[in-house]
């Protein structure tokens, strides 16, 4: 076989190898993308299951709260949860359509949810027609059994998905490792092909020059080649004779291996290998492989002159004369120690990231479960305590001392329920499980309901409570009345808490095509040093404020996140010792404007 044909076949095989590696890499990337999608899909299934459970628990809490208190405010969250439960379960069933085991649980989940909602509706209807009684309380027990069955069924679904998530995440990590390996191999192959092609081209040129020129011209060409190679500092490039004796030495070889040309030329190249490799005849095996395959490639540890080790990428290519007889070998070595260390660090970082991700997934799952448990195990009985305490507080037949104790129990349980609701609402906001709605509502109705709710508390403290709705405010606007009301209630609660004399004013107006609400008080104001962290969760003006006035420091943080969700702004104006004005604005949109945009 001639030199040109041999080079052609080497190039062809190398090209096929590169094409094969590119194809393999593309397939691995495709599989990795698919596996990552499956991981995201499983996380979505877990999230939908948790949301379905949370909605049903909230529905149960609202129904019980209304049954015990007959407070219409409980019906609004009940309706919202009632509407969302079926949607979450439907999404859960659609997401697990390819999983027969999960699909087998779906009918049970739907049946339990339907039965739970029907019983809750019956409780509400019973409460509408008669006062609370022991019969009503006894009718709650079957509800708990239904809820326990639903929780057990949904836990079965989520446990399966958690195991499936672990399997898919592990497979994704394994595929990612394979992608890194295939890309690295492909890069090395391309580098070797380029170097080999350059060397082969140069060798062919030398062969033509040798045939056409005299011996002196051949020596000049060889000297020029040696000079060029000797100036390459990133690669150790040197020639071996057929026996493996070093015949040339470049500056790159001197820099990488530490030997001067005078110290190494004439010695066998096995000096660069460990004693164990020499005993295994590894150097000779590489030369034989190069002869048989046209090239020998390897990445392994090599030894410098000072005895230190470095990670080397080695390519050995045989050199043939015009008659096809072996005249020696050319060996190209590159120091890849830095890359090797980087790969080891990258692998360590990947392992740490995987551990952190697993911890985050577990923490997120535990947090969701914790919120669900708190909602059911704490808020449900606490709602009952509030309702029963309220009934006792309005019972005028009780002795004076017992009546005062009932009033204190009612007030304390209300404050505790407010704290619990703040924590649960903030947890939902952090988890991204809170959305907004865009429905028609009356601003005046919202303000009037706010006054009717807090006027008794203001009068009890001897405070005036005034409301004002500007004439420019439309009779009906589009927005999220629930979150606007909750934000106003938080601000009024704070105003009542920090105002000892004077009064409070709630106002609504139109400013710069936005609906602006404000709560103004004549309370203690806010010192300058405490203003920067006012909307930060768990933050109050100082530790003394928390002890004196109570609270979790979550109210303003919840208000800010609600307003931001609605695309609005929130702020305040205050003077230490002279009161504060807290305001927020949301986009103003009427039904007519919405229809025109549609």
Per residue in 276-334, pLDDT (tens digit) is 888 888 999 999 999 999 899 998 899 998 989 999 989 999 998 877 889 899 999 98
Residues 486 and 593 in one domain: yes
CATH of the domain at 22: 1.20.120.1730
Q: Which of 413, 432, 451 is the last residue of a domain?
A: 432
Count up the domains in the chain and report the number. Answer: 4
Are residues 179 and 298 located together in one domain of the fold?
Answer: no
Lowest average pLDDT, out of 174-183, 193-202, 281-290, 443-452, goes to 193-202
Query: Contact at 8 Å (CB) between 313 and 336?
Result: yes
Q: Which of 159, 182, 212 is the last residue of a domain?
A: 212
Higher pLDDT, 184 or 245: 245
Considering the domain boundaries, does residue 521 fall inside one? yes
Q: Does residue 444 have a pLDDT over 90?
A: yes
Looking at the domain assignment, is residue 219 inside a domain?
Answer: no
Asked if the model's pLDDT at residue 343 lies above 60, the reply is: yes
Domain membership flag for residue 218: no
Q: Are residues 384 and 235 in the same domain?
A: no
Per-residue confidence (pLDDT) for residue 361, from 0 to 100: 74
192-206, 320-334, 442-456, range with the lowest pLDDT: 192-206
- pLDDT higher at 481 or 116: 481
Domain assignment present for 220: no
The CA distance from 307 to 94, in Å, is 64
- Give the integer Cα–Cα distance in Å for 214 and 43: 75
Clarify whether residues 308 and 385 are in a common domain: no
481 in the same domain as 377:
no
Residue 268 domain-assigned? Answer: yes
Contact predicate 333/313, CB 8 Å:
yes
Range of the domain at 499: 439-597
Same domain, 471 and 407: no
Q: What's the pLDDT score for residue 419?
A: 63
Highest mean pLDDT among 33-42, 346-355, 420-429: 346-355
pLDDT higher for 368 or 493?
A: 493
**Domain contains 222:** no
| Residue ranges in 431-469 assigned as alpha helix (H) | 443-460
Whole-number mean pLDDT of the chain? 81
Quote the pLDDT of residue 546. 47
> 342 in a domain, yes or no?
no
Which helix (H) or strand (E) segment holds residue 238: the answer is strand 236-240
So what's the pLDDT on residue 397?
82
Compute CA 536 distance to the chain's CA centroid, rounded to the nearest angstrom: 22
Q: Verify that 535 and 510 share a domain, yes or no.
A: yes
Q: How far is CA 398 from CA 317, 388, 389, in A?
A: 104, 14, 13
Span 144-169, average pLDDT: 85
In a domain, 217, yes or no: no
Q: Are residues 424 and 456 in the same domain?
A: no
| Statement to judge: residues 305 and 252 lie in one domain | yes
Are residues 586 and 485 located together in one domain of the fold?
Answer: yes
The beta strands (E) that lie in 458-555 are given as 464-469, 477-479, 503-511, 514-521
Who has greater pLDDT, 256 or 596? 256
Residues 121 and 204 in one domain: yes
Q: Check residues 92 and 232 and name the one with the higher pLDDT.
A: 92
List b or e across 112-145, with b for residues whose CB sees 16 or more CB atoms inside 10 angstroms: bbeebbebbeebbeebeeeebeeebeeebeebee
Per-residue pLDDT, averaged over 118-145, amounts to: 68
Packing angle of the helix pair 400-430, 555-565 (nearest 10 deg) = 40
| Long-range Cβ contacts of 312-316 (<8 Å, 24+ apart) | 312/256, 312/336, 313/188, 313/191, 314/286, 315/192, 315/195, 315/196, 316/240, 316/286, 316/287, 316/289, 316/290
CB 332 within 8 A of CB 236: yes
Query: Lowest mean pLDDT: which of 276-285, 366-375, 448-457, 585-594?
Result: 366-375
User: Can you read off the two tokens belonging to residue 14?
Assistant: 């190398």
Q: pTM for the full model?
A: 0.39
Are 73 and 180 part of one and the same domain?
yes
């Amino acid at each position: 076989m001639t030199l040109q044909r041999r080079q052609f076949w080497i190039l062809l095989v190398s090209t096929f190898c590169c094409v094969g590696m590119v194809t393999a890499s593309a397939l691995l990337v495709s599989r990795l993308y698919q596996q990552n999608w499956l991981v995201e899909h499983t996380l979505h299934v877990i999230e939908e299951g948790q949301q379905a459970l949370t909605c049903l628990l909230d529905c149960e809490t609202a129904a019980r709260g209304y049954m015990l208190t007959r407070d219409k405010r409980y019906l609004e969250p009940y309706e919202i949860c009632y509407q969302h439960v079926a949607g979450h379960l439907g999404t859960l069933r659609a997401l697990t359509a390819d999983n027969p085991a999960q699909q087998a649980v779906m009918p049970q989940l739907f049946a339990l949810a339907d039965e739970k909602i029907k019983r809750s509706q019956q409780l509400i209807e019973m409460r509408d027609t008669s006062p609370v009684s022991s019969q009503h309380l006894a009718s709650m027990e079957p509800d708990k059994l239904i809820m326990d069955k639903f929780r057990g069924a949904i836990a079965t679904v989520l446990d399966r998905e958690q195991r499936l998530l672990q399997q898919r995440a592990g497979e994704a990590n394994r595929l990612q490792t394979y992608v890194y390996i295939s890309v690295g191999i492909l890069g090395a192959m391309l580098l070797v092909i380029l170097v080999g092609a350059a060397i082969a081209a140069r060798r062919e040129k030398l062969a033509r020059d040798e045939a056409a020129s005299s011996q002196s011209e051949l020596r000049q060409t060889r000297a020029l080649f040696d000079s060029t190679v000797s100036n390459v500092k990133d690669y150790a490039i040197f020639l071996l004779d057929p026996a493996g004796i070093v015949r040339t030495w470049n500056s790159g070889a001197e820099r990488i291996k530490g030997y001067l040309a005078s110290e190494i030329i004439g010695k066998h190249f096995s000096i660069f290998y460990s004693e164990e490799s020499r005993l295994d005849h590894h150097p000779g095996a590489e030369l034989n492989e190069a002869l048989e395959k046209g090239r020998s490639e390897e990445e392994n540890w090599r030894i410098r002159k000072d005895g230190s080790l470095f990670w080397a990428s080695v390519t050995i290519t045989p050199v043939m004369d015009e008659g096809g007889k072996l005249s020696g070998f050319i060996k190209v070595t590159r120091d890849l120690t830095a890359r090797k260390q980087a790969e080891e660090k990258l692998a360590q970082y990947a392992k740490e990231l995987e551990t952190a991700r697993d911890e985050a997934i577990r923490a997120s799952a535990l947090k969701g479960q914790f919120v669900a448990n708190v909602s059911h195990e704490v808020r449900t009985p606490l709602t009952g305590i509030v309702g029963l305490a309220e009934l006792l507080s309005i019972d005028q037949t009780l002795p004076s001392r017992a009546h005062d104790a009932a009033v204190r129990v009612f007030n304390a349980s209300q404050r505790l329920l407010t704290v619990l609701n703040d924590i649960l609402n903030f947890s939902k906001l952090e988890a991204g499980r809170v959305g907004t709605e865009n429905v028609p509502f009356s601003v005046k109705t919202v303000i009037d309901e706010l006054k009717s709710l807090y006027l008794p508390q203001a009068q009890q403290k001897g405070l005036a409570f005034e409301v004002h709705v500007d004439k420019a405010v439309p009779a009906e606007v589009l927005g999220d009345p629930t979150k606007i009301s909750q934000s106003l209630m938080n601000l009024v609660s704070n105003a009542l808490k920090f105002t000892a004399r004077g009064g409070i004013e709630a106002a609504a107006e139109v400013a710069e095509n936005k609906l602006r609400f404000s709560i103004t008080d004549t309370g203690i104001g806010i010192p300058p040093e405490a203003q920067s962290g006012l909307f930060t969760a768990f933050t109050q003006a100082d530790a003394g404020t928390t002890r004196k006035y109570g609270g979790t420091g979550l109210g303003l943080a919840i208000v800010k996140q609600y307003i931001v969700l609605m695309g609005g702004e929130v702020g305040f104006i205050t003077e230490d010792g002279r009161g504060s004005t807290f305001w927020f604005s949301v986009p103003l949109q009427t039904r007519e404007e919405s229809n025109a945009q549609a």
